[in-house]
DNA sequence: ACATTGACCTGGGAGC
DNA sequence: TGCTCCCAGGTCAATG
């Protein structure tokens, strides 16, 4: 379930507890995630210092001394910081136990997440190397968006969610961004004007930044690593609000399906 | 090269 | 209460 702000919040939440700490052991109770967890991950990482926690797209990178643990939270994954030993519960698949007696516990009900190990440059990993640009950098700007919209007849909502172009804009933020930019999500990408591109870029950055400031959106599943929920759900304009009044015009919010995913929008405000 | 569909999993809620 | 059906924030692989 996590979108980029949740992953960013998770990284910031866990970093103070695990950067510069030594891994005692990694206890895997369930290897079968989206991809199997490497069988030897405990043996490989034992005794290594966690040098840095960072994020690329929705991947959490834990840089150790001889390589990198790459984690994805999938739809339902969570990382918790445990300051004391507690009994693992259902779906607590992995514990990373550190020498400071703190553990990172990975919980993932749907097991769409994954945990990888690579000794190469993590940016060359097969899951990372073809990812598009980060939305919160200057590389993501109206010119970039327009250039990539050329010749794309796919709809603008699915275009925004294409991680080979821009990473980190998930289903919630795609709907929210297009509402604020007043662009109909069914429009083809190549029909987007310069002015609309400016607004899409502006509002997608705004939404993501706001969500990060607020600790990430919490709907059903997400708790940040210290167990506090985010508060962004109160700021959603259209997502999950089918048949409710649009806040701007009193029209009813519509729900449609694009690429098997729900899209919410106001067909009066968004042209 | 691009666009569409299916697949991976479990849990929660709606409806009967 | 219990059953069935539908839905869920991701994203890769296979297919067209």
Question: Residue A22 CA to nucleotide C8 C1', Å?
Answer: 37
Question: Does the CB of A127 fall within 7 Å of any strand C atom?
Answer: yes
Question: Does the CB of A31 fall within 7 Å of any strand C atom?
Answer: no
Question: Residue A172 CA to nucleotide C8 C1', Å?
Answer: 12
Q: Which of A89, A85, A115 has the alpha carbon at shortest distance from A103?
A: A85
CA distance A147 to A133: 14
Q: Which tens digits make up the pLDDT trace of A80-131?
A: 899 888 999 999 999 999 999 999 999 999 999 999 999 999 999 999 999 9
Q: Which of A237, A140, A157 has the alpha carbon at shortest distance from A192?
A: A157
Low-confidence ranges of chain A (pLDDT < 70): 1, 216-234
Residues of A with a catalytic annotation lie at 2-3, 58, 261
Question: Does the CB of A91 fall within 7 Å of any strand C atom?
Answer: no
Read off the tokens for A251: 């029209």
Q: What is the pLDDT of residue A151?
A: 85
Q: How does strand A52-56 pair with strand A77-82?
A: unpaired
DSSP string, A34-66: SSBPPTTHHHHHTT-B--EEEEETTEEEEE-SS
Bases of chain B below 7 A from a protein C-beta are 2-12
Residues of A 144-173 whose CB lies less than 7 Å from any atom of strand B: 151-154, 158
CA distance A265 to A271: 10
Non-local (6+) Cβ contacts of A208 within 8 A are A4, A5, A135, A136, A168, A169, A173
Question: Does the CB of A177 fall within 7 Å of any strand C atom?
Answer: no
Q: Which of A260, A209, A198, A270 has the alpha carbon at shortest distance from A238?
A: A270
CA distance A104 to A226: 11
CA of A113: nucleotide with nearest C1': C10
Q: What is the pLDDT of residue A230?
A: 55
Question: Residue A229 CA to nucleotide C14 C1', Å?
Answer: 38
Question: Residue A155 CA to nucleotide C16 C1', Å?
Answer: 19
**The pTM of the whole model exceeds 0.85:** yes
CA distance A68 to A119: 6
Residue of least CA–C1' distance to B11 = A109
CA distance A140 to A85: 43
CA distance A2 to A186: 24
Residue A161 — φ and ψ, nearest 5°?
A: -90, 0
Q: What is the pLDDT of residue A98?
A: 97
CA distance A214 to A92: 26
Q: What is the pLDDT of residue A215?
A: 73
CA distance A190 to A152: 5
Q: What is the pLDDT of residue A228?
A: 55
CA distance A73 to A107: 9
Residue of least CA–C1' distance to B4 = A259
């Amino acid at each position: 379930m996590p979108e980029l702000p949740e992953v960013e919040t998770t990284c910031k939440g866990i970093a103070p507890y695990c950067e510069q700490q030594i891994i005692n052991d990694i206890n895997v109770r369930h290897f079968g995630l989206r991809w199997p967890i490497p069988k030897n991950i405990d043996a490989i990482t034992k005794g290594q210092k966690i040098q840095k926690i960072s994020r690329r797209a929705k991947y959490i990178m834990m840089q150790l001394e001889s390589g990198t643990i790459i984690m994805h939270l999938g739809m339902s994954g969570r990382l918790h910081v445990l300051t004391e030993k507690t009994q693992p519960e259902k779906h607590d698949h992995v514990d990373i136990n550190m020498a400071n007696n703190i553990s990172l516990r990975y919980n993932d009900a749907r097991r769409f997440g994954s945990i990888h190990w690579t000794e190469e440059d993590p940016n060359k990993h097969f899951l990372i190397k073809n990812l598009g640009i980060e939305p919160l950098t200057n590389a993501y700007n109206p010119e970039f968006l327009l250039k990539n919209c050329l010749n794309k007849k796919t709809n603008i909502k699915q275009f925004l969610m294409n991680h080979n172009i821009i990473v980190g804009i998930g289903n919630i933020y795609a709907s929210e961004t297009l509402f604020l930019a007043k662009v109909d999500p069914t429009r083809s990408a190549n029909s987007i004007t310069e002015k609309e591109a400016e607004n899409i870029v502006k509002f997608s950055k705004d939404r993501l930044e706001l969500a990060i400031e607020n600790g990430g959106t919490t709907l059903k599943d997400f708790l940040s690593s210290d167990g506090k929920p985010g508060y962004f759900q109160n700021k959603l304009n259209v997502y999950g609000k089918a048949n409710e009044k649009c806040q701007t015009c009193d029209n009813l919010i519509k729900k449609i399906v694009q690429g098997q995913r729900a899209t919410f929008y106001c067909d009066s405000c968004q042209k």
